Structure 1
Amino acid sequence: MPPADDLTEHRDNPGDDIWVNGRPEARPIEVVDYDPDWPARYEVLAARIRTALGDRVLGLQHIGSTSVPGLPAKPVIDVDLTVADPADEPAYLPDLEAAGFMLVIREPDWHEHRALKHADPNTNLHVFGPGCPEVTRQRLFREWLIEHPDDLARYRDAKLRAAAETTASGGIVTDYNRHKEPVIRDIYDKIFREQGLLDR
């Protein structure tokens, strides 16, 4: 478990300088009903990543809304991949590119995060290093939503509102994430208080 201060710290919304190939074009944000095929799509991706990297895969998990049964989501599978050093791109990136992934985000100031896209199935692959608090945060958030239907409903409603607001304003996915942020942070704080990491 990462140190409590690292785990409970909320990240500021990133600027546009994170995009490797420039800011993406604005498109409508589509949030659809939960698809029971999403876990199987993750397994396809997991096999592809493990075949590409072998024992360089130090951790792999299905995260985000497609990993929570019953939760509407953008039809994009989110995956956390842990490698020895995300900043050492030559150690893993060429093999992922050969497997159909493309680097789209580089954030050296945030846990050396890298994000890659894959078209089929539609995927966001997030690359972090060992002990990264974000990997633990994502797992805790997923498990909390599975076990707390009231917060799952709150988050569902926040996602639908955020998608409508972002689409209406011509925003992109980072704007969508910013619209959801207050509810996400509130749920995280509930998790951390329950675990004794924040004062009640």
Structure 2
Amino acid sequence: MSVTVEQYNPEWPQQFQTIKSELETYLKDVAYLSIEHIGSTSVPGLAAKPIIDTDIIVTQENVQPAIDALISNGNFDYLGELGLRYRHVMKDPNQSPRRNIYVCVDGVAQTRNHLGLRDTLRRDVELRNEYARLKLELASKNTNIIDYTVAKGVVVNKILEASGILSKDELAAIKEANTIGENFSALRTERLLLREFVMADAEGYFELESNEENARYQDWPPRTKEQARQLVINNLRDHNDVPRINFELAVDYQGHFVGRVGANLSPANNDKLPGESTIKQVTHANLWFSFLPSVQGKGFATEAMQAFIQALTKRKRGAEEGGKWEFEIECDPRNTGSWKLAERLGFVRHSLTKEAWQSKGEWVDSLVYRKVVGDA
């Protein structure tokens, strides 16, 4: 999904006041310190994504009471810290206007970062104009949110240095947090876009996972809407883990969610041979994929998995470090679509285990295909 940046809208401050009033109702029994309008929409004259960013600032001991109140009184989802300590991300079910809600600990670097960025841009016209030009330029190039955040990093650090409220170590930590890290930049193929999940994918995920046909060879029955939503939340949390073990990307076709591809990583046996002084790392990756029935038979799964596997091998594990990637696709042999896709991807049949486990009241065979990428 490309980032949308708009010229400053004078309605944004009033939208924040509406959101603030709602939050005050939910937090009536919580000793919070303040509710702050932060982010680019809080800076008069600054172009911004049309999303109202809001910090609920509390002392450390009131973090959990604030989270609990938002969940119980406002039906919020708690997404976790998402890679930034002391900044707890809450998903408001009300997204009119669109908003990001954070519960932040008073005085910590991340909270001072939010306030310092806002206050500096409010008073420094030159920095504000430089930041606006960059944001509009990135949006004009259809930049995805991961690359957008990384590309802004240099100017953001320049603004924070000008604020004078962060130490050198704190600035370095924020700079590191704004790098791509373990996140995936968007992957474009001839027809598809593979990208990190966002909460807006919950409906598409439910359409996919609630389908009887798709669940036929899975260990679980069709998902409920709440289960699908929770799985999207899990994906959001996973792509902020360091090191990241679980990778799952949404697949878009012509702007619509059509499926998902994923991998779970783990160390495998090493390749040290007699007489060798070093160990070549082997990273094992269990792969999966699932696509809506309406797009099956069009080669989308093959196209997406080829791009996904290629992107994984370029990461800082396995083959790039002189070791190997050992990719595995395990499936029910009755699922001919799965094992035929594995063969199209160049995977080799590794094993067939009869009656490997019980699933939905019946014994199921296990067919495993493998492919090794990296040094021989």
TM-score normalised by the chain length of structure 1: 0.71
- The answer to whether the 8 Å contact 2:109/2:166 transfers is no
Q: CA RMSD in A?
A: 2.5
Equivalent residues in 2 for 1:1-200, closer than 5 Å: 27-54=1-28, 55-85=30-60, 89=64, 91-97=65-71, 98-107=73-82, 110-118=84-92, 119-165=95-141, 167-168=142-143, 171=144, 173-192=145-164
Choose between structure 1 and 2: higher strand proportion: 2
Q: What CA distance in whole angstroms lies between the structure 2 residues aligned with 1:197 and 1:113?
A: 19
Alignment CA distance shift 1:185-1:88 (3 Å): closer
Deviation at 1:197, TM superposition (A): 6.3
Letter of the 1:132 partner, please give it. Answer: V
Q: Deviations over 1:162-197 (max 9, x none)?
A: 3344x35xx3x33321111111111221232xx796
Greater Rg by CA: 2
Alignment CA distance shift 1:79-1:36 (3 Å): same
Deviation at 1:149, TM superposition (A): 1.1
Identify the residue that residue 16 of structure 1 maps to in structure 2. none
- The answer to whether the 8 Å contact 2:117/2:160 transfers is yes
* SS of equivalent residue, structure 2 residue 81: strand
Choose between structure 1 and 2: higher helix proportion: 1
Q: What CA distance in whole angstroms lies between the structure 2 residues aligned with 1:86 and 1:152?
A: 35
* SS of equivalent residue, structure 1 residue 176: helix
Q: Deviations over 1:62-110 (max 9, x none)?
A: 0011001111111000011123338954x23343134253333424x63
Unaligned 5+ segments in structure 1 are 1-26
TM-score normalised by the chain length of structure 2: 0.40
Alignment CA distance shift 1:110-1:196 (3 Å): closer
Q: Deviations over 1:4-53 (max 9, x none)?
A: xxxxxxxxxxxxxxxxxxxxxxx121001111111111111111111111
Letter of the 2:159 partner, please give it. Answer: I
- The answer to whether the 8 Å contact 2:66/2:103 transfers is no
Q: Which runs of 4+ in 1 moved over 3 A?
A: 84-89, 195-198
Alignment CA distance shift 1:73-1:86 (3 Å): farther
Unaligned 5+ segments in structure 2 are 169-376
Query: Which is further off, 175-184 or 95-104?
Result: 95-104
Q: What CA distance in whole angstroms lies between the structure 2 residues aligned with 1:131 and 1:196?
A: 11
- The answer to whether the 8 Å contact 2:86/2:110 transfers is no
